[in-house]
Protein backbone atom coordinates (compact mmCIF):
# COMPACT_ATOMS: atom_id res chain seq x y z
CA UNK A 1 0.00 0.00 0.00
CA UNK A 2 1.45 3.40 -1.03
CA UNK A 3 1.53 6.52 1.15
CA UNK A 4 -1.48 7.96 -0.72
CA UNK A 5 -3.58 4.81 -0.20
CA UNK A 6 -2.58 4.69 3.49
CA UNK A 7 -3.61 8.32 4.03
CA UNK A 8 -6.89 7.75 2.14
CA UNK A 9 -7.68 4.63 4.21
CA UNK A 10 -6.84 6.55 7.42
CA UNK A 11 -9.07 9.46 6.38
CA UNK A 12 -11.96 7.17 5.40
CA UNK A 13 -11.71 5.27 8.73
CA UNK A 14 -11.67 8.59 10.63
CA UNK A 15 -14.71 9.87 8.74
CA UNK A 16 -16.60 6.60 9.28
CA UNK A 17 -15.80 6.72 13.01
CA UNK A 18 -16.97 10.33 13.27
CA UNK A 19 -20.12 9.57 11.25
CA UNK A 20 -20.78 6.62 13.58
CA UNK A 21 -20.39 8.82 16.67
CA UNK A 22 -22.74 11.45 15.26
CA UNK A 23 -25.31 9.40 13.34
CA UNK A 24 -25.65 6.04 15.17
CA UNK A 25 -26.93 7.61 18.43
CA UNK A 26 -29.93 8.97 16.46
CA UNK A 27 -31.32 5.43 16.49
CA UNK A 28 -30.94 5.24 20.31
CA UNK A 29 -32.36 8.63 21.24
CA UNK A 30 -30.52 11.67 19.90
CA UNK A 31 -27.64 12.61 17.59
CA UNK A 32 -24.38 14.03 18.92
CA UNK A 33 -23.97 17.79 18.71
CA UNK A 34 -21.11 19.23 20.78
CA UNK A 35 -21.86 22.67 22.22
CA UNK A 36 -19.80 25.87 22.24
CA UNK A 37 -18.25 26.74 25.66
CA UNK A 38 -20.40 29.90 25.87
CA UNK A 39 -23.58 27.87 25.36
CA UNK A 40 -22.52 25.40 28.07
CA UNK A 41 -22.02 28.24 30.59
CA UNK A 42 -25.33 29.81 29.53
CA UNK A 43 -27.13 26.49 30.21
CA UNK A 44 -25.52 26.11 33.64
CA UNK A 45 -26.27 29.72 34.62
CA UNK A 46 -29.86 29.34 33.37
CA UNK A 47 -30.22 26.21 35.55
CA UNK A 48 -28.71 28.18 38.47
CA UNK A 49 -26.44 25.25 39.37
CA UNK A 50 -25.18 25.69 42.96
CA UNK A 51 -22.10 24.28 44.73
CA UNK A 52 -22.64 20.74 45.99
CA UNK A 53 -25.72 20.08 43.86
CA UNK A 54 -25.95 16.93 41.77
CA UNK A 55 -26.16 17.81 38.09
CA UNK A 56 -27.25 14.97 35.81
CA UNK A 57 -26.94 14.90 32.00
CA UNK A 58 -28.87 12.10 30.25
CA UNK A 59 -27.00 11.48 26.99
CA UNK A 60 -23.87 13.35 28.10
CA UNK A 61 -21.81 13.03 24.91
CA UNK A 62 -18.17 13.96 25.49
CA UNK A 63 -19.11 15.25 28.97
CA UNK A 64 -18.15 18.90 28.64
CA UNK A 65 -21.38 20.18 30.23
CA UNK A 66 -20.70 17.91 33.24
CA UNK A 67 -17.05 18.95 33.41
CA UNK A 68 -17.95 22.65 33.37
CA UNK A 69 -20.64 22.07 36.03
CA UNK A 70 -18.02 20.45 38.28
CA UNK A 71 -15.13 22.79 37.48
CA UNK A 72 -16.82 26.19 37.36
CA UNK A 73 -20.01 25.64 39.37
CA UNK A 74 -18.60 23.20 42.00
CA UNK A 75 -21.35 20.66 41.33
CA UNK A 76 -21.23 16.88 41.58
CA UNK A 77 -21.85 15.75 38.02
CA UNK A 78 -23.16 12.48 36.68
CA UNK A 79 -23.87 11.59 33.06
CA UNK A 80 -25.08 8.61 31.07
CA UNK A 81 -23.90 7.92 27.55
CA UNK A 82 -24.57 4.98 25.24
CA UNK A 83 -21.60 5.43 22.91
CA UNK A 84 -18.47 3.77 24.40
CA UNK A 85 -16.10 6.09 22.51
CA UNK A 86 -17.76 9.18 23.96
CA UNK A 87 -17.74 7.54 27.41
CA UNK A 88 -13.95 7.07 27.14
CA UNK A 89 -13.49 10.62 25.84
CA UNK A 90 -15.66 12.09 28.62
CA UNK A 91 -13.76 10.20 31.35
CA UNK A 92 -10.45 11.29 29.83
CA UNK A 93 -11.52 14.95 29.57
CA UNK A 94 -12.79 14.90 33.17
CA UNK A 95 -9.40 13.64 34.34
CA UNK A 96 -7.47 16.14 32.19
CA UNK A 97 -9.61 18.94 33.65
CA UNK A 98 -8.86 17.77 37.20
CA UNK A 99 -12.47 16.90 38.07
CA UNK A 100 -12.31 13.12 37.60
CA UNK A 101 -13.39 12.67 41.23
CA UNK A 102 -16.51 14.84 40.84
CA UNK A 103 -17.64 13.72 37.38
CA UNK A 104 -19.10 10.25 37.01
CA UNK A 105 -19.78 8.91 33.51
CA UNK A 106 -22.03 5.87 33.34
CA UNK A 107 -21.99 3.83 30.17
CA UNK A 108 -25.55 2.83 29.42
CA UNK A 109 -28.96 3.58 28.05
CA UNK A 110 -30.49 6.77 29.42
CA UNK A 111 -33.95 5.18 29.32
CA UNK A 112 -32.83 2.62 31.92
CA UNK A 113 -31.02 5.09 34.20
CA UNK A 114 -32.47 6.22 37.53
CA UNK A 115 -31.75 9.96 37.96
CA UNK A 116 -33.30 9.99 41.45
CA UNK A 117 -30.29 11.75 43.03
CA UNK A 118 -30.36 14.70 40.60
CA UNK A 119 -30.94 18.24 41.85
CA UNK A 120 -30.72 19.42 38.26
CA UNK A 121 -31.63 17.16 35.35
CA UNK A 122 -30.26 18.44 32.04
CA UNK A 123 -31.55 17.15 28.70
CA UNK A 124 -30.43 17.84 25.16
CA UNK A 125 -32.25 15.13 23.25
CA UNK A 126 -35.11 15.14 20.73
CA UNK A 127 -38.90 15.38 21.03
CA UNK A 128 -39.15 11.62 20.37
CA UNK A 129 -36.70 10.82 23.17
CA UNK A 130 -38.47 13.22 25.56
CA UNK A 131 -41.82 11.60 24.76
CA UNK A 132 -40.31 8.25 25.62
CA UNK A 133 -38.83 9.56 28.90
CA UNK A 134 -41.86 11.52 30.12
CA UNK A 135 -44.02 11.12 32.12
CA UNK A 136 -42.50 7.87 33.54
CA UNK A 137 -39.27 9.57 34.63
CA UNK A 138 -41.18 12.03 36.85
CA UNK A 139 -41.86 9.20 39.32
CA UNK A 140 -38.12 8.68 39.81
CA UNK A 141 -37.19 12.34 40.33
CA UNK A 142 -36.89 14.35 43.56
CA UNK A 143 -39.90 16.69 43.97
CA UNK A 144 -37.42 19.59 44.18
CA UNK A 145 -35.61 18.73 40.93
CA UNK A 146 -35.04 21.40 38.30
CA UNK A 147 -35.32 20.04 34.76
CA UNK A 148 -33.51 22.02 32.10
CA UNK A 149 -34.01 21.16 28.46
CA UNK A 150 -31.99 22.65 25.62
CA UNK A 151 -33.75 23.24 22.30
CA UNK A 152 -36.75 20.99 23.04
CA UNK A 153 -39.57 21.90 25.39
CA UNK A 154 -41.45 19.20 27.28
CA UNK A 155 -44.83 18.57 25.72
CA UNK A 156 -47.71 19.16 28.12
CA UNK A 157 -45.54 20.73 30.85
CA UNK A 158 -45.52 24.41 31.70
CA UNK A 159 -41.99 25.84 31.98
CA UNK A 160 -41.11 27.94 35.00
CA UNK A 161 -38.66 29.92 32.90
CA UNK A 162 -37.82 30.22 29.17
CA UNK A 163 -34.66 31.89 27.84
CA UNK A 164 -35.08 35.00 25.70
CA UNK A 165 -34.08 33.14 22.54
CA UNK A 166 -36.47 30.30 23.46
CA UNK A 167 -33.77 27.61 23.39
CA UNK A 168 -33.75 26.84 27.12
CA UNK A 169 -36.67 25.63 29.20
CA UNK A 170 -36.70 25.16 32.98
CA UNK A 171 -39.31 23.04 34.75
CA UNK A 172 -39.78 22.72 38.50
CA UNK A 173 -41.84 19.80 39.68
CA UNK A 174 -42.77 21.13 43.11
CA UNK A 175 -44.10 24.32 41.52
CA UNK A 176 -45.61 22.88 38.40
CA UNK A 177 -46.87 19.31 38.73
CA UNK A 178 -50.41 20.25 39.74
CA UNK A 179 -51.00 22.29 36.61
CA UNK A 180 -49.19 19.98 34.21
CA UNK A 181 -50.85 17.29 32.11
CA UNK A 182 -48.29 14.85 33.50
CA UNK A 183 -49.42 15.24 37.13
Residues that bind ligand SAM (CB under 6 A): 25, 28-35, 57, 59-61, 65, 80-83, 86, 109-111, 124
Minimum distance, C-beta of residue 21 to ligand SAM, in the bound complex (Å):
7
Give the shortest CB-167-to-ligand SAM separation in angstroms: 12
Closest CA to 122 of 40, 50, 57, 53: 57
Smallest gap, in angstroms, from Cβ of residue 7 to ligand SAM?
29
Question: Which residue's CB atom is positioned nearest to ligand SAM?
Answer: 59
54: exposed, middle or buried (Cβ count in 10 Å: 0-12, 13-18, 19+): buried
Q: What is the DSSP letter of 3?
A: H
Distance CA 19, CA 16 (A): 5
Quick one: which of 80, 68, 87 has its CA closest to 117? 80
Please, what is the minimum distance in Å from the beta carbon of residue 36 to ligand SAM?
10
Choice between 11 and 96, CB closer to ligand SAM: 96
Nearest-5° angle of CA 82, CA 133, CA 62?
Answer: 30
Toward ligand SAM, which CB reaches closer, 32 or 46?
A: 32
**Nearer Cβ to ligand SAM (110/120):** 110
Amino acid sequence: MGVFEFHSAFLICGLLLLAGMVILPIFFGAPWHPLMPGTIRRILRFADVRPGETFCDLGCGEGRVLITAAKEFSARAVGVEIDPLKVMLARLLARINGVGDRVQIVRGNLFDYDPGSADVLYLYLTHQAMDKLFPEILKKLKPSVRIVSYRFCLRGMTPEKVSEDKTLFLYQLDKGTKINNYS
